[in-house]
């Protein structure tokens, strides 16, 4: 990358990336939004925004001056929405001097990086890591970082950021027709993580309660709110290790009368299970579809059983099949009827007779738009399943840059600095609870009120403990080898864990 671009790394730690970067910005933890907003301020004041994407003042004279509001009618936007409103509500006061005090970064460095971004626009990659948004009040911090890509014309553009390439796989058959009265009533129950309550908007795609509030699960179980959990089936997680408060999850799991855990290897959550169902490793013991995107291409491949180590089962096909057979023996045949009737080989029409056959059929059904000539969707073209199976991967056509300009999937269709999309979602959540948006913000511990809620803005990070008594901030880090919670218990992980300072192979470390 250093052969093609100048790299600025924002990180409290002197990480491997920071060591190699042209600019290291050792920011005070939690103050990323302050830096992003100050960079945006400089970009506007110095006229560095990308005018072919953002637009310009009608007479060409830059009116963005620190501390002064701007007449919205004087600016003609092209593929963005609400730039001047954002300036008037927030950016006009977010000077480099203000940010330097908050972030503890030099004013000169903030100015230098802002000017470098403007000079490189639109070929600017704005990469946001977990450290920016997976924090309390991280939503607006993340919005502030993404807004830079819009200002610089780097959204959906060469050298900038682009959408994950479309992966046209097929969905699985709807099982609604197999639900009995008990199932229908159960679906209508409130979710255990309390998503959609006033204090948990969990907004996703504009829907109140459309997301997940994982950290709330343990509290809900312990408090039996909205209801007690008598039986739990857990798979593809290790909440007793991978959450911010694992001890609370341990206490919650102790409270559950009967717990079944499907996992690939021993893990902390497994200690609390009454029954462990060994699951096959994804890479070589199970059928699954694997999709990814990179370098402008979307790719879809599949994994298949090649070897089997011990008495394991495929967790997405064999274990559900065994559950369905057991329920059928108890007189509840609907799940097995669904699996037998609704899943069929797209070529032969044959229905599965066991869980392994179900896994293979599921892969063929999901990938049919990619290998069936009658459903050709672009990209690599195959004569049928056999050729796709032999090749092992489908590649899309190359991503079409700027295809989303004016079609961003927002309420206005444009890149929203003033988010009408977020406004509609928050207002919908507020209406659901018969309150206004300000009340939602108050309950959710945000400081913004009024229209500030609809623009990227600065929210002071929440700090625990008095700064006088605890002047140091603890920043945890994700190990280079970590992907998710269960992987840290793999033998290969401990065998290869010597990539960070302090690592010792096969030994527990504090890193």
**pLDDT for 226-246, tens place per residue?**
999 999 999 988 899 888 789
What is the domain extent for residue 511?
485-511
* 299 in Cβ contact with 308 (< 8 Å): no
Question: Within a domain: residue 264?
Answer: yes
Output the pLDDT for position 419: 98
Same domain, yes or no: 144 and 256: no
**0.85 exceeded by the pTM?**
yes
Question: Within a domain: residue 504?
Answer: yes
Question: Within a domain: residue 347?
Answer: yes
Residue 151 confidence (pLDDT) above 50: yes
Compute the mean pLDDT over every residue in the chain, rounded to the nearest whole number.
93
**What CA–CA distance (Å, rounded) separates 143 from 62?**
24
Same domain, yes or no: 26 and 135: yes
Same domain, yes or no: 150 and 82: yes
Question: Within a domain: residue 96?
Answer: yes
Rounded to an integer, the average pLDDT of 21-35 is 95
- CATH for 145: 3.40.228.10
**pLDDT for 461-482, tens place per residue?**
988 888 899 988 887 777 777 7
Question: Within a domain: residue 106?
Answer: yes
User: In the structure, what pLDDT confidence band is assigned to residue 58 with cuts at 50, 70 and 90?
Assistant: very high
**pLDDT for 177-226, tens place per residue?**
999 999 999 999 999 999 999 999 999 999 999 999 998 999 999 999 99
Q: What is the DSSP string of 361-425?
A: HHHHHHHHHHH-GGG--SSS--SSHHHHHHH-EEEPPPP-TTTTTT-SSSSSSSEESS-HHHHHH
**What CA–CA distance (Å, rounded) separates 421 from 98?**
29
Output the pLDDT for position 309: 83
Question: Within a domain: residue 312?
Answer: yes
Distances (CA, A) of 314 to 12, 261, 335: 42, 13, 17
**pLDDT for 279-327, tens place per residue?**
998 888 999 999 998 888 999 999 999 988 888 999 999 999 999 999 9
Same domain, yes or no: 354 and 250: yes
User: In the structure, what pLDDT confidence band is assigned to residue 511 with cuts at 50, 70 and 90?
Assistant: very low
Same domain, yes or no: 77 and 125: yes
Question: Within a domain: residue 457?
Answer: no
* 135 in Cβ contact with 30 (< 8 Å): yes
Same domain, yes or no: 17 and 158: yes
Same domain, yes or no: 414 and 321: no
Residue 414 confidence (pLDDT) above 70: yes
Question: Within a domain: residue 132?
Answer: yes
10 strand-pairing partners: 25
**pLDDT for 338-388, tens place per residue?**
999 999 999 999 999 999 999 999 999 999 999 999 999 999 999 999 999
Of residues 73 and 471, more confidently modeled:
73
Q: Which of 379, 395, 419 is the last residue of a domain?
A: 419
279 strand-pairing partners: 313
Same domain, yes or no: 43 and 113: yes
User: In the structure, what pLDDT confidence band is assigned to residue 165 with cuts at 50, 70 and 90?
Assistant: confident
Rounded to an integer, the average pLDDT of 386-398 is 96
Question: How many other C-beta atoms lie within 10 A of the C-beta of residue 330?
Answer: 7
Same domain, yes or no: 249 and 142: no
Output the pLDDT for position 480: 78
Same domain, yes or no: 407 and 340: no
Residue % of the chain over a pLDDT of 90: 78
- CATH for 316: 3.40.50.740
Q: How many domains does the chain have?
A: 3
Same domain, yes or no: 410 and 311: no
Same domain, yes or no: 359 and 410: no
Output the pLDDT for position 510: 42
Residue 82 confidence (pLDDT) above 90: yes
Rounded to an integer, the average pLDDT of 54-75 is 97
Output the pLDDT for position 508: 60
């Amino acid at each position: 990358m250093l052969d093609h671009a100048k790299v600025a790394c924002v990180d409290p730690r002197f990480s491997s990336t920071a060591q190699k970067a042209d600019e290291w910005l050792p920011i005070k933890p939690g103050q990323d939004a302050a830096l992003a907003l100050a960079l945006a301020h400089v970009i506007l004041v110095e006229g560095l925004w990308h005018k072919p994407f953002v637009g310009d003042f009608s007479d060409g004279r830059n009116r963005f001056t620190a501390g002064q509001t701007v007449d919205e009618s004087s600016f003609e936007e092209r593929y963005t929405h609400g730039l001047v409103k954002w300036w008037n509500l927030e950016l006009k006061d977010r000077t480099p001097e203000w940010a330097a005090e908050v972030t503890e970064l030099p004013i000169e460095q903030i100015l230098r990086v802002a000017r470098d971004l403007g000079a490189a626009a639109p070929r600017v990659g704005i990469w946001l890591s977990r450290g920016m948004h997976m924090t309390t009040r991280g939503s607006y911090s993340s919005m502030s970082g993404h807004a830079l890509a819009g200002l610089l014309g780097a959204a959906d553009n060469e050298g900038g950021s682009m959408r994950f390439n479309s992966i046209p796989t097929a969905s699985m058959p709807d099982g609604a027709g197999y639900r009995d009265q008990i199932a229908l009533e159960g679906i209508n129950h409130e979710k255990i993580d309390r998503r959609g309550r006033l204090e948990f908007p969990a907004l996703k795609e504009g829907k109140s309660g459309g997301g997940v509030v994982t950290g709330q699960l343990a509290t809900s179980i312990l408090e039996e709110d909205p209801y007690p959990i008598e039986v739990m089936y857990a798979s593809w997680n290790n909440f007793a290790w991978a959450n911010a408060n694992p001890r609370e999850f341990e206490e919650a799991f102790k409270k559950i009368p009967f717990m079944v855990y499907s996992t690939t290897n021993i893990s902390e959550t497994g200690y609390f299970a009454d029954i462990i169902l060994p699951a096959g490793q994804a890479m070589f013991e199970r059928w699954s579809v694997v999709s990814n995107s990179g370098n402008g291409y979307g790719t879809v491949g599949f994994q298949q059983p090649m070897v089997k180590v011990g008495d394991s089962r495929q967790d997405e096909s064999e274990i559900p099949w065994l559950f369905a057979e057991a329920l059928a023996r108890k007189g509840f045949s609907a799940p097995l009827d669904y699996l037998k009737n609704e899943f069929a080989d797209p070529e032969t029409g044959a229905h599965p007779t066991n869980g392994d056959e179900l896994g293979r059929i599921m892969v063929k059904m999901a990938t049919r738009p990619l290998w069936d000539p009658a459903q050709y969707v672009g990209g690599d073209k195959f004569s049928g399943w056999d050729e796709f199976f032999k090749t092992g991967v489908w590649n899309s056509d190359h991503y079409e840059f700027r295809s989303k300009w004016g079609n961003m999937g927002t309420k206005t269709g444009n890149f929203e600095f003033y988010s009408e999309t977020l406004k509609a979602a928050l207002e919908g959540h507020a209406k659901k609870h018969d309150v206004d948006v300000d009340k939602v913000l108050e309950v959710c511990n945000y400081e913004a009120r009024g229209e500030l809620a609809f623009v990227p803005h600065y929210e002071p990070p929440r700090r625990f403990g008095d700064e006088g008594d605890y002047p140091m901030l603890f920043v945890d880090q994700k190990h280079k080898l970590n992907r998710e919670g269960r992987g840290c218990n793999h033998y290969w992980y401990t065998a290869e864990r010597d990539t960070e300072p302090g690592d010792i192979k096969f030994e527990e470390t504090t890193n």
